[in-house]
Structure 1
Amino acid sequence: MSVAESLSHLDAAAQRVAATTADALGVLAEDLSDRGRAARVADVEAQFARDTAIVHMRVGVAVDQRLRHLHGVVADLGRGARAVPWPESAPLPVEEDALAVAQYVRVGAADLGQFKFDASHTDALPVMIPLLNRANIVVKASGWNSEMANLVQALVARALCASGPGQLMLRVFDPALRSYLSLFSALREVDEALFPRPGAHGEDLEELLRTLTDDVRRVGDLGHGQEGSLGELRQSTGQPIEAYQLVVLLDYPRGVSEHAAQMLEHLLRVGPARGVSFVIHHGAELAHNKSAMAALRNVENSLMFDGTDWVWSAVNGLTIRVDRPSSGSLQATADLVAAAARRCSAPMIAFTQIQPPLEAWTARSGDGISAAIGLSGHKVMTVTLGDEREQRHNMLITGAVGQGKSNLLMVLIHSFASRYSPSELEL
């Protein structure tokens, strides 16, 4: 082989080695590139995991703080008997403060699963619904069964327990004569006014609504335009003025005439602030009329059963595990409420509140004699004898044993003696 041929073979071999080396270097470069990309992906995934953990922790802390705040709010609203769960068979605790009022009542506990970020949050949140002095409640469901009866009974029992003894009167319209609220009939034995016999006919409902309208007007007059609600008037005077009324209408709108619906619509709007609140069972399967349904249009506080869950209209999407107290616990609670009403006493008013000592012996008897006998809201109430216009010269005081006749006589004598000197009035 000549030198030229040998050089040619060497050159070809060198070219093959160079090509093979280039191929190897290309494969090596691709491999190194893939490894770099994988490393970078791994770094990004690790950073994402760290960021997700930080976000998860921060959201969890925020949820914890919010839940603690909500529990604190509920605890404040649910003092006393308002938020405690129902005992197995024992009664709920009963308020002793005459000024207490069930402005919020517990209906159950909230299902927070759809709102919780962390499944470790397992505490149930009591659901407190506004009622006396604040709102009305409409319970919407098809049909009437023991579960519906239990819910209405529990609402009434909660309202009675969380209000001062003898300070909440129960009014019931029961057109289907279900008598599920008869477990509170012991209140009637204490005082017929605490739980008059339920009405069942349309005319009974109209009479009830007319009476309630007069009551609302009278309570409004007591404030003389100064207080916005009965609760504020009570707090400002420190006295249990008037009584609250809880009106339960069952099987609505059965027995509701157009005139009754008009009166009801007005009462639903202005009643709560004047001491009259309603719990209305709306039977979705009952025949409707436009006026009866229009009366409910301003009630924003509704409990609705959709066939599976109970929901509260005030919070979209919130499902509620409604409390289901036993019959024994309900009856024991009703008996305890009646016992508390039986032993409660009339409010005490200091004599100096109606007859200031600095005004002693300053009155004149020429135009009659007047005595201060009590308070109506902030206003001192007086009775006058011997005036020229009214011509009232005598007084007859009647009443059952223990109703305060002797106390009234003592107040009259002390007020006359404080107002008039011996030269003006002889006793």
Structure 2
Amino acid sequence: MPDRRAQLVTRVRGMLADALGATRSRAAAADADLTAARERLARVRRAAAAVPDRVGAQRDGRLAEIDSGHQARIAELARRASAAARREAPGAASAEWTHWRPTPPGGSGPPGAVRIGTLRIPGAEPVPALVPLLDAGHVHLSGAELAGGEPVVPALLLRSLGRADPGTVRLIGYDPDQLGGGLAGFAPLTSAGLLTFVGPGGLGRLLDDLVEQIRRINETVLAGEYSSLRELAAATGRRPEPWRVAVLLGGDELSRHERSQLDRVVRTGATCGVHLVVRGVPLPEHQTVTRIVVEPEGVRLGDPPGLPARLDPPPPATLVTETCRAVAATVNAGPPPAPFAELLPPVEQFWQEDSANGLTAPIGAAPNGRQVQLSLGDYPPHALIGGPSGTGKTNLIFAWIGALASRYSPDQLEFYLLDFKEGVSFARFAQGRRDPSWLPHMRLVGINVNTDREFGLALLRFLAEELRRRADAAKKHEVTKLSELRTVDPQGRWPRIVAVVDEFQMLLAGRDVVAREAADLLEDLARRGRSQGIHLVLASQDVRGIEALWGRPALVAQFTLRIALPKALRILAERNDAAQTLPRHHAVVNAESGMAEGNQVARIPSASDWESWSELQHRLWRMRPDDAAPARLFDGDAIPRLTEAPDFRALRPGEGERRTPVAVLGEIIDVQARSAVLRLPRAPGRNLAVIGTRVDEACAVLDAAARSLARQHRPGEARFSIACLDPDADPAARELYGELADDAAWYDEETVPELMAETAEGLSRAGSGARPHYLLLFAVDAAAGQLAGRVGGRTGLEQLRRILHDGPERRTHVLAWWRGVARMRVDLGGPAARTDQIGAWVALDVQGGELGSSLYPGTGGPDWYPRPWRGLFFDRSVHRTGQVIIPYGPAR
């Protein structure tokens, strides 16, 4: 009897020690108590043996009392062991199947052991039987009744999946007998690449691959800094590699090579996240192997002889399938982006970097947890970004801008942004009505310019001029690079410039003068810009955008930094298809012109949503210098206001008498917010023709011209004659007439001949020209019938021609709208008539070919394609080519 009790105590102690596994430290106190109890029991046994039979009854009672106490102690220890096991294997690791669900720890938390059943302890509640697998070791299933252990494999795998983040556990199945049928419930994982089946005869290749993975992880991921992936994850907060679990369900006798490779995996796999779950294949003895032996009388867990255990029922097939489908769907959707804050330095380190030798900032985390750096400098000088719509191109640009702007001050770095696709995502960098803040580094933001290629050309011209200015300064100081210039001229302001052009292929589309000049400027900037700190970042979501560059190898060669988003084509080198298998929120970064050996995969944080960006921009805005000015915002969909134009607001009364008056016509599509102006000196041809059928735009041009001229004259100093001959233009002309007040006179179809006669006659009078006279003629060609009649011996058209010819020298200028080129030619004297008296014109919905050589230098007319609310302005005395302008909207 006492011997049996002592044996029971000893056995329970061993059972509890093995059951607790990783929780042995928590059960140390209980173990010590149990040892003390055993020693006390031994002392009692020795004392009892020396007691005479006459006290046997007393002895048996005392032993019964001791036995009862120890039984209670065993039950208490079992309860403590169960609690410790639940802490070691929480949630999905040990929950009953009836209410089981995945409970990943998140981040780099350890998955812990998983439950396969319960330990059988007589007289005590069952203790969960835990098996360590992920980051711990391997599981070997054997025994005479192997079929009885079938619930172990699906339980191990499902609980392991449930205790890991989706996508971090990858299964490899080798099931030659059932041809994969033993893992049929896990088949949905194959769609996400999380389950791979190896066919009969493939065991050798599988083991070779596992050994290679272990070698790679040791060499490139752990790299001697960490002893295991678990230690690396705990130190960095990231797990750079998934767990790989190879499930080997039987097979033929292993060859010597296969046995050798299997031994290597057993010895070294656990530290690299490579694990084995084996049934029917012998495993070598090793401390990382947990043995499960299935015998007729039950299951034993642990090293022989093992602890008696009862297996849990297998997980329901529907639970396995549904869980695997959910995991696969999550993985196929891609991992969520990392927080934007990961790219930013500590606040106290904002604007502490020096850009003299280049710009460097992180763009995201590599699989090993280290930051992937993007650099622009002498090498690589420029970047090419590509990816289909929806793959995160705009988000990547935002992340890169934020990482740079937080490290370099506006004196070190300036941005110029241009977006050729429809959208306003870049507008947040400029001052807006909703948010008055702006990014202090931003100098230009162009949005909705998909139909305004001229604005992209204007940016390239601006950069070319800045390049020339910097090159001249470098030559003056006898240096060649920006870093040297900043050394010899420390008082100068020489920030590095990063110009980002999204959907740049729009700029190169077509075979017109814009595309040709843009390509030439791009090539020159790409070739020479690096030395003067001007860097280009070209982005495209369409493969045609990349193909637009392929005909210019000298240009492409300068873009050695390539960033390919998922499914991007032709960004990397021809045979480098790394981008085709990228998950969402990732990019391939390559600073070696796209060659495969330069690939780095980066997980891109979320930076494009307003909440992520706003906090950083407001912080940088509050840090801005006192003399900082908002960026120039050009919105191709917005109509500028005359009253907000800097050139209009700079006009002052009296200037028209002291200096040559100017007429403001519209906003030039240019980097600076400049106005197109027509100077009206006392010289031949200083008249303006507005040509086209679009009433609103024609009225807008004449309205802006009249208001700007009136702003330069004091009341009574100039005369304005307004003739409206188109009913549709009448409201705009009437409003202008009311604005000009006492200095204006109104004429209609009946009285316009009198205006022509009176004005023509006045040109001959002595003292004519003392007071400027501006004739504003709305749809003058509509008065052809009225002007055909004679007044004072001449027709109205003849008098109009005289005014156009002689008027400017006497301070009389005609600003007239004709609704077509042919109609204007008729009024000027016919198809063969000279047009010299029209010194400037604004073409609206008129094709370039209609203008012809008589109005435009060269042959065939300008490369002009009409589009809404745009005009082509040409002044013979100033321009070699026309300027695209945007008519100003109503003044009110």
* TM-score > 0.5, shorter chain as reference: yes
TM-score (ref. length: structure 2)? 0.37
Deviations 1:319-365 (A, max 9, x none): 22112224344334444544565677435244355534444444455
- In the alignment, which residue of structure 1 is the partner of 2:116? 107
- In the alignment, which residue of structure 1 is the partner of 2:484? none
Would you say the 8 A contact 2:175–2:250 is kept in 1? Answer: yes
- In the alignment, which residue of structure 1 is the partner of 2:272? 274
Give % identity: 24
Q: Provide the secondary structure at the position in 1 that maps to 2:142.
A: strand
- In the alignment, which residue of structure 2 is the partner of 1:418? 406
1:424 and 1:307, CA in 2 relative to 1: closer, same or farther beyond 3 A?
Answer: farther
1:77 and 1:394, CA in 2 relative to 1: closer, same or farther beyond 3 A?
Answer: same
Q: Provide the secondary structure at the position in 1 that maps to 2:151.
A: helix
Alignment partners' CA distance in 2, 1:300 and 1:167: 22
- In the alignment, which residue of structure 2 is the partner of 1:7? none
- Aligned runs of 1:14-413 on 2, under 5 Å? 44-87=55-98, 92-99=100-107, 100-113=109-122, 119=123, 121=124, 123-141=125-143, 145=147, 147-176=148-177, 177-189=179-191, 191-192=192-193, 194-195=194-195, 197-202=196-201, 204-220=202-218, 221-252=220-251, 254=252, 256-283=254-281, 296-298=284-286, 300-314=289-303, 316-325=305-314, 326-338=316-328, 341=331, 345-346=335-336, 348-352=338-342, 355-365=345-355, 367-376=357-366, 377=368, 379-388=370-379, 393-398=382-387, 401-402=390-391, 404-413=392-401
Letter in 1 for 2:258: A
Alignment partners' CA distance in 2, 1:134 and 1:397: 42
Deviation at 1:234, TM superposition (A): 2.0
Alignment partners' CA distance in 2, 1:414 and 1:164: 29
- In the alignment, which residue of structure 1 is the partner of 2:557? none
- In the alignment, which residue of structure 2 is the partner of 1:26? none
Letter in 2 for 1:65: E
Which structure 1 residue ranges, 5 or more long, are not aligned? Answer: 1-39, 114-118, 284-292
Letter in 2 for 1:246: V
1:155 and 1:258, CA in 2 relative to 1: closer, same or farther beyond 3 A?
Answer: same
1:355 and 1:152, CA in 2 relative to 1: closer, same or farther beyond 3 A?
Answer: same
Q: Provide the secondary structure at the position in 2 that maps to 1:186.
A: helix
Would you say the 8 A contact 2:167–2:331 is kept in 1? Answer: yes
Would you say the 8 A contact 1:169–1:244 is kept in 2? Answer: yes
TM-score (ref. length: structure 1)? 0.73
Would you say the 8 A contact 1:81–1:95 is kept in 2? Answer: yes
Deviation at 1:157, TM superposition (A): 1.0
What RMSD over aligned residues (CA atoms) do the two structures have, in Å? 3.2
Q: Provide the secondary structure at the position in 2 that maps to 1:138.
A: strand
Deviations 1:14-48 (A, max 9, x none): xxxxxxxxxxxxxxxxxxxxxxxxxx989613311
Deviation at 1:74, TM superposition (A): 0.9
Would you say the 8 A contact 2:118–2:127 is kept in 1? Answer: yes
Which structure 2 residue ranges, 5 or more long, are not aligned? Answer: 1-50, 414-493, 499-892
Would you say the 8 A contact 1:109–1:126 is kept in 2? Answer: yes
Would you say the 8 A contact 1:98–1:165 is kept in 2? Answer: no
Deviation at 1:63, TM superposition (A): 1.0
Alignment partners' CA distance in 2, 1:75 and 1:160: 18
Alignment partners' CA distance in 2, 1:155 and 1:72: 21
1:398 and 1:109, CA in 2 relative to 1: closer, same or farther beyond 3 A?
Answer: same
Alignment partners' CA distance in 1, 2:221 and 2:337: 17
Deviations 1:202-247 (A, max 9, x none): 4x44443344334334444434544333223223322343222211
Greater RCO (Cα-Cα under 8 Å, separation 6 or more): 1
Greater CA drift, 357-366 or 100-109: 357-366
Letter in 1 for 2:59: F
Alignment partners' CA distance in 2, 1:401 and 1:296: 50
Would you say the 8 A contact 1:354–1:373 is kept in 2? Answer: no
Would you say the 8 A contact 2:104–2:165 is kept in 1? Answer: yes
1:138 and 1:225, CA in 2 relative to 1: closer, same or farther beyond 3 A?
Answer: same
Would you say the 8 A contact 1:141–1:282 is kept in 2? Answer: no
